[in-house]
Amino acid sequence: MKEGGAPKLTIVKVGGKIVEATDTLQSFIKDFAKISGYKVLVHGGGRSATQIANRLGIKSEMVNGRRITDLEMLKVVTMVYGGLVNKNIVAGLQALNVNALGLTGADLNYMRSEKRPVTDIDYGFVGDVKEVQSDILANLIKQGIVPVLAPLTHDGQGNMLNTNADTIAGEAAKALSKHFEITLMYCFEKNGVLLDEENEDSVISEITHACFVKYVNSGVIKGGMIPKLENAFETIKAGVKTVIITKADNILTGGGTHVI
């Protein structure tokens, strides 16, 4: 916690599945609107991007859960993430008297990335975050504006870059931790990190880094949950107060897995 008692800020990252369907979007934004104090929403939108790309005859290719983004796919994700999904969320929040503002990293130059270098895989126009203008975001937030961040950044040279939503949330949280006491919530389809992925009630309520390593080595934690937790521990190390991994339905309850 910052000395002098920094104001509290809740950053919620929600997957595309939740915000792309009308019924789940309405339910989620009603809960999000009830979060007290300052807040930020970070969203995905991959399912919509895949559907629209298919209609346009553009093939979607994924490697390790990451989208290969060639020039044609970049056009699709820019339209879908920065337009369709982002503005539907903003409109829904405005209907609940939440003064939301949709942003990509290019807007206000708030998040700049570099194109991921080609190694064994060429991800195309995918960005690795290099700079976050936290003062700009903090000023908006303190004016009562709720930023809604799309998973897009820019390289400062006129190019948009597809950027993982978990990364957007984590980098924004780390940068804003100098202005606020931050709770970062990663929402996905499970109740939290599970001891048994077939049992929704087997939530690990708290997880330390030592426990994380143990669970990875024993095979309890695997797949996409590994980078999600690695990212969570990085944000804690960088000054984020609390990280919670939970189901979107539980953002008001405090349930889920607390990363400590």
pLDDT score, position 170: 96
pLDDT for 213 beyond 80: yes
**Mean of pLDDT values over 213-238:** 91
Which of these, 166, 101, 163, lies nearest to 136 by C-alpha position?
101
pLDDT band for position 229 (50/70/90)?
very high
* Cβ 144 vs Cβ 190: under 8 Å: no
pLDDT score, position 4: 56
Give the whole-number percent of the chain exceeding pLDDT 70. 98
For Cα atoms 79, 155, 225, give the angle at the middle one, nearest 5 degrees.
70
* Cβ 151 vs Cβ 104: under 8 Å: no
Domains of the chain: 8-259 (3.40.1160.10)
**Helix, strand, coil percent values for the chain (each to nearest 5):** 40, 25, 35
**Mean of pLDDT values over 198-224:** 93
pLDDT tens, residue by residue, 77-135? 999 999 999 999 999 999 999 999 999 999 999 999 999 999 889 999 999 999 999 99
pLDDT score, position 179: 97
